[in-house]
Chains A and B, each alone.
Chain A
Amino acid sequence: MPSRRDTFKMAGLGASALALGGAGRGGQHSGHHAHSESVPHKGRTYSPGKAGDDYRPVITPDGSTLSYKLVDGVKVFHLTAEEVEHEFSPGLKALCWGYNGQVHGPTIEAVEGDKVRVYVTNNLIAPTTIHWHGIILNSGMDGVGGLNQRAIMPGETFIYEWTFVQHGTFMYHSHHDEMTQMALGLMGMIVVHPRKRTEPAPDRDFVMMLGTWALRPGARRPDPNEMSDFNVLTINAKSYPGTAPLVVKMGERVRIRIGNLSAMDHHPIHLHGYAFEEIATDGGVIPKSARRPETTVLVPTGSTRTIEFVAHNPGDWAMHCHMTHHVMTQMGHDVPNMIGVDPQALNRRISPLLPHYMTMGQDGMGEMGKHIESGHMQVPENSLPMVGAQGPHDYITMGGMFTILKVRKGLTSYDDPGWYDDPDGMARLATQAELSRDGIDPSVKAMPHSSSGHMSHDKPKSNMKHEH
């Protein structure tokens, strides 16, 4: 049965046909496809886009942007696939596969209409290819090993060529033995700026690649055979506290392009302190009319999501995957649930057998990182505590796919400004005076109120802002 859309198509009124006007549809120009064009491409050539003139370069926290040289109006890039010793966070390194000495590979940045040539040298022990995920190009350049080309053998250099006929956020990754090669890190981001700006350019344009790894504590190479139990969750191949913060000046327009090439996971990325709009996917720009405010954007694996907001709310704002096991690091998932047991009794029972034993997890996992950092509990060489790092006020019991958006007034550089000292006060211990003022007796169990409501509303709402 034809869908409503098909019916439109048959009537010559497909979705793209409706987009002919281009403006007002998030930069979508062409009438024949869903990808985003800001200028016509058929029969047209454009001079190579210039940073500063044609675009404001993106920032890849903990990563870099791939340089190119211009040869006869063509941007020439060179990627070398190779083994790289990569640090996920201080204390945890692994032998990964990356490009140009880094994991993940550098971000390829270009402008719509740019003609590019990408040389790919294979310095791995295995054949490989690169697929340009989301890029509209001819089939022969698509990089699927066996389907579109033969694999690039170790020591060989292949050449890929195309012209960007779209703008947006895309990715590249190995498309040969993906299970192995992507698990070891062979991936990177591609950003194509529009040739003609149809929306305000962001002041800060961040690029993030989400990834998952299986790395046993103490091991030195990620395990590509793992199918479900990933224990190192990364943003740009870094695990908190290894992730660099996103530093933004008050009032700046912030764009965050998030790609996900995790083996088996989607990531709902949640940003604190803001509502944002999801403005594009790797398919193209989302029409303004279709955008909606969000606090969490789900980034399915094999796709990109671009969000945007204006940084009007100063502070240190957590940004993280909301899957709770994705803000953990290197925890075993078969450990017994110890919540609620008496640790002293077990310690007494077990320490004669195992002098270094200490019951853990009886009140959760939060204390664990602290124990390790304080040095009284040793963990395997080359491993990260399951959660956390010391924060300004206490231990931050989050790890993995976690970073911090730092919005400040009056910044003169984008270096890490340190912890935010909130002038508007923060949560603290309630004083006795406050407790009695508001009639709170902590010894009386708080009860859910009935629907008829018997809570007193006569007390004025207190503003705690000036109390510190």
Chain B
Amino acid sequence: MTLKHLWLGGAFLLVSCVSVPKDAGFSEFDAMLAPMLPAPAQWVGETISEQEASDRISALLSDPLTEASVAEITMLANRDLRAVLYGLKEARGNYVDDASLPNPFITALFVDEPSETSADCFGNLTRFDTPIGGQIGVGIEILDILFFPKTLKAAKAEFTAAKYSSLRHFADHSYQARLKFYEAMAAKQILGLAEQSYEAMAANAEVAQALFDAGNIAEVDLAQEKLFEAQMKSELIKAERGFEMAKSHLIKTMGLSPEKSDSVKLEGRLRTPDITELEALPVQSVMDRNLELKHREALIDAAGIRMGMKDVMSFVGDVELEGEVERHDGAYEYSGGIGFELPIFNFGQGKREAARARMEMMGQQYIARQYALDTNAHLLYTNLSAARREILHQRKQVLPLSQQVLKGMQLDYNAMHIGVFDLLNAKRNQLATGIAYVQAVEDYWKTRAAYEYLLAGGTPDIDASSHLNPSVGGASEEGDH
């Protein structure tokens, strides 16, 4: 028994009518990333060779790291970022796929023996039996064609969503690397200050030893001073550990290979912030540029289009057109037909409801993100203003006062009003003030990085950007990226 399924494809031989850039839109991607990156975006293996990237990383690593070199190295070295780009490529592939009409289904059948006619209902529309000859059938689902422009739109929106998602990941990595750079630099500076603090207490213990050797103090007094030294040593060990951890985090975020990570150099100090008055928060621009919102918008667009299609499809069900050319007894016979699903049991209500609910859900999530973004934007602005005020305060008040205190203590020492232990302790207090200042500068830069990231379209995690405000964040959920 031969069943001949012949699908009439009609006159359509369709090719994709969308033009997808060969680089999966990477150049566009680059343009969008530009405000967030200190160097042009690169795609190792596509825009730059593996070897070039490796050489560039080595060249950058030969100097002490800066914010810019950290961002560039991250872009070149980080495998997760490359994965993001491949994800983008994958999305492009999917887009190309979606943007093409479904191919017609062709069936060809050759028969050399007549057969009985049989018929059954449902599913197959028509059957012919031929004693001899062949059949060619072309079939196509008609809705696919009717909805093709919509499918195209949805695919485009989905690709756009994928682009925004990739952009977010890319920019976020760069932002994270910037944060880790500040943390590592601050940890390095704090380590330097902790070393000096330890030195002060080590000197203190040496003075005590000299006094003990001279017979001027008791053993318990010496032990007391040595205890101070030992306690400072603990602080130093903590600072060393803090630095190693911060450095490791930075290396990890940059995504350096083990060979390259040895040559990481952190030197100097965190840049002195240029304390200029903050311009007003450009709320609208923040909203307009936000990649997460754009990502969600694109997803909602796509879902909306797909839902419109579903509404119809679920009601109409499958509609198939078919055509057939049959050679029978040396003569060609042409026939055509239409097949459709009869919606008598399933009216597609459930699917429509599910789709609508999903749309609603996405809409609510979108608004939630919008609100959260607005709140976070204001909070970041406030945080940055506060961090700026804090730096100004430290610079204008705390640091000069701490200098003045140490200088005054030196004079007091000269006047024999206080002794060497008090003086060394004053030095240690001054260093503690220095540590607090470094922390303030670190906080400033991290907050500023978050703010700049926000202005460029990012959604910074407020908790991560400021160690001073552990409790005020929380509004920033990271969504589904």
Bound: A372/B416 CA distance, A: 11
Q: A337-B216, A346-B210, A349-B206 are in contact. Are A354 and B419 (CB under 8 A)?
A: no
Bitwise interface map of B from 412 to 451 toward A, beta carbon under 8 Å scored 1, else 0: 1111111111011001000000000000000000000000
Q: How many residues of B contact A (CB 8 A)?
A: 29
B342: Cβ under 8 A from any A Cβ: no
Check B424 against A379 for contact (C-beta < 8 Å).
no
Bound: A314/B212 CA distance, A: 47
Bitwise interface map of A from 359 to 389 toward B, beta carbon under 8 Å scored 1, else 0: 1110001001001100001111001011000
Bound: A380/B196 CA distance, A: 26
Check B427 against A332 for contact (C-beta < 8 Å).
no
Main SS class of interface, A: loop
Measured between beta carbons, the chain A residues less than 8 angstroms from B214 are 338-341
Measured between beta carbons, the chain B residues less than 8 angstroms from A272 are none
Bitwise interface map of A from 377 to 405 toward B, beta carbon under 8 Å scored 1, else 0: 11110010110000000000000000000
B200: Cβ under 8 A from any A Cβ: yes
Measured between beta carbons, the chain B residues less than 8 angstroms from A332 are 412, 416-419
B207: Cβ under 8 A from any A Cβ: yes
Check B410 against A368 for contact (C-beta < 8 Å).
no
B217 contact from A336, A353, A380, A386, Cβ within 8 A? A336
Bound: A337/B416 CA distance, A: 11
Which positions 395-419 of chain B face chain A at CB distance < 8 Å? 408, 410-419
B215: Cβ under 8 A from any A Cβ: yes
Measured between beta carbons, the chain A residues less than 8 angstroms from B416 are 331-332, 335, 360-361, 365, 368, 386
Measured between beta carbons, the chain B residues less than 8 angstroms from A356 are 410, 414
Minimal Cβ-Cβ distance residue in A for B202? A349
Q: A332-B416, A380-B408, A380-B415 are in contact. Are A337 and B423 (CB under 8 A)?
A: no
Bound: A368/B417 CA distance, A: 12
B410 contact from A330, A339, A340, A354, Cβ within 8 A? A354
B427 contact from A216, A340, A346, A354, Cβ within 8 A? A354
B203: Cβ under 8 A from any A Cβ: yes
Check A353 against B427 for contact (C-beta < 8 Å).
yes
Check B420 against A359 for contact (C-beta < 8 Å).
yes
Q: A349-B203, A353-B199 are in contact. Are A337 and B420 (CB under 8 A)?
A: no
A379 contact from B199, B203, B411, Cβ within 8 A? B411
A217: Cβ under 8 A from any B Cβ: yes
Measured between beta carbons, the chain A residues less than 8 angstroms from B217 are 336-337
Check B411 against A218 for contact (C-beta < 8 Å).
yes
A252: Cβ under 8 A from any B Cβ: no
Bound: A19/B120 CA distance, A: 160
Measured between beta carbons, the chain B residues less than 8 angstroms from A338 are 211, 214, 216, 419-420
A339 contact from B196, B199, B216, B420, Cβ within 8 A? B216
Bound: A195/B40 CA distance, A: 108
Measured between beta carbons, the chain A residues less than 8 angstroms from B216 are 336-341
Check A336 against B415 for contact (C-beta < 8 Å).
no
Bitwise interface map of B from 188 to 215 toward A, beta carbon under 8 Å scored 1, else 0: 0000000010011001001100110111
Measured between beta carbons, the chain A residues less than 8 angstroms from B415 are 217, 330, 372, 379-380, 383, 385-386
Measured between beta carbons, the chain B residues less than 8 angstroms from A385 are 415
A17: Cβ under 8 A from any B Cβ: no
Minimal Cβ-Cβ distance residue in A for B421? A336
A390 to chain B, nearest CB (A): 18
Check B206 against A346 for contact (C-beta < 8 Å).
yes
Q: A383-B415, A386-B415 are in contact. Are A342 and B210 (CB under 8 A)?
A: yes
Measured between beta carbons, the chain A residues less than 8 angstroms from B213 are 341
A350: Cβ under 8 A from any B Cβ: yes
Minimal Cβ-Cβ distance residue in B for A358? B414
Bound: A232/B200 CA distance, A: 32
Bound: A350/B201 CA distance, A: 10
Check B418 against A380 for contact (C-beta < 8 Å).
no
A420: Cβ under 8 A from any B Cβ: no
Q: A218-B408, A353-B203, A359-B420 are in contact. Are A377 and B210 (CB under 8 A)?
A: no
A199: Cβ under 8 A from any B Cβ: no
Measured between beta carbons, the chain A residues less than 8 angstroms from B421 are 336
Q: A339-B214, A339-B216, A340-B215 are in contact. Are A353 and B419 (CB under 8 A)?
A: no
A427: Cβ under 8 A from any B Cβ: no
Minimal Cβ-Cβ distance residue in A for B428? A353
Check A380 against B412 for contact (C-beta < 8 Å).
yes
A345: Cβ under 8 A from any B Cβ: yes
A223 to chain B, nearest CB (A): 13
Q: A339-B216, A341-B214 are in contact. Are A378 and B420 (CB under 8 A)?
A: no
Minimal Cβ-Cβ distance residue in B for A350? B203
Bound: A222/B211 CA distance, A: 33
A387 to chain B, nearest CB (A): 9
Which positions 233-269 of chain B face chain A at CB distance < 8 Å? none
Check B200 against A341 for contact (C-beta < 8 Å).
no
Bound: A383/B421 CA distance, A: 21
Measured between beta carbons, the chain B residues less than 8 angstroms from A361 are 416
Bound: A336/B210 CA distance, A: 12
Check B210 against A341 for contact (C-beta < 8 Å).
yes
Q: A335-B419, A359-B420 are in contact. Are A353 and B200 (CB under 8 A)?
A: yes
B24 to chain A, nearest CB (A): 59
Check A378 against B424 for contact (C-beta < 8 Å).
no
Bound: A353/B427 CA distance, A: 8
Bound: A190/B199 CA distance, A: 59
B390 to chain A, nearest CB (A): 27
Minimal Cβ-Cβ distance residue in A for B209? A341
Beyond A336-B211, A337-B211, A379-B414: 5 further Cβ-contacts under 8 Å? A332-B419, A350-B207, A353-B427, A356-B410, A361-B416
- Interface pairs (22), CB distance under 8 Å: A216-B417, A217-B415, A332-B418, A334-B418, A334-B419, A336-B216, A336-B217, A336-B419, A336-B420, A336-B421, A338-B211, A339-B216, A341-B213, A346-B420, A353-B203, A353-B427, A354-B424, A354-B427, A356-B410, A357-B413, A360-B414, A379-B414
Taking Cβ atoms with an 8 Å cutoff, the residues of B that contact A are 196, 199-200, 203, 206-207, 210-211, 213-217, 408, 410-421, 423-424, 427
The 7 closest A-B pairs by CB, nearest first: A340-B214, A335-B419, A379-B415, A332-B417, A337-B216, A341-B210, A336-B419
